[in-house]
Amino acid sequence: MADAALGGVMLDNPLPRTTQHSRGFEACDIITSDGSLIHVKRTPRSSAVSHLIGQALVATDTLRHDSKARQQLRDVVPSAGSDPSWLPKRIGFVTLGMARAQPITGDDLFSFSQVTLSRLDSSLTEADVKLTVAPIAHG
């Protein structure tokens, strides 16, 4: 599985809940020992890419600004099989894993997705968070 290959753990559930996100939010799919938050989605269509970008934006923003959300995620990490210290006080790395039959390139994205990805990158750069986009070949 991807989490083991990356030296991380899956963090699908439970979803951290906050005042702003009373139904919970997906903090990430995988967290690695260096504190990287990895979001992965099958992206055969632009709508899936946009959802992935939005998910990363909401999660990163919430974890940057809401200490309660960070603590809830820290509390979940041990039950997933890792150490709470994997979630640093300051988010430093976010990766978007885009899975599709043919690896995705910037030219494959509709302009809406290009713009929202660029805005995500700008927002994270301002927060000193490094964004990586990882194309994943998925049959």
Residue range 24-83, pLDDT digits in tens: 899 999 999 888 999 999 988 888 999 999 999 999 999 999 999 998 888 888 888 888
For 38, phi then psi, to 5°, come to -115, 125
| Sequence letter at residue 27 | A
The CA distance from 26 to 56, in Å, is: 9
Q: What is the pLDDT of residues 100-138, one digit of tens each?
A: 888 777 777 788 888 999 999 999 999 999 999 988 877
- Angle subtended by helix axes 111-126 and 46-65, to nearest 10: 20
Q: How far apart are CA 71 and CA 57, in angstroms?
A: 19
Contact 11, 27 (CB under 8 A): yes
pLDDT value of position 139: 62
Task: Quote the pTM value.
Answer: 0.89
Q: In the numeric block, which tokens belong to residue 75? A: 């509390």
Please report the DSSP string for 100-120 in residue order.
ESS---GGGS-HHHHHHHHHH
Bond prior to 135 in cis (omega within 30° of 0): no
Which residues are 38's β-sheet partners? Answer: 30, 95
Written as one letter, the residue type at 133 is V
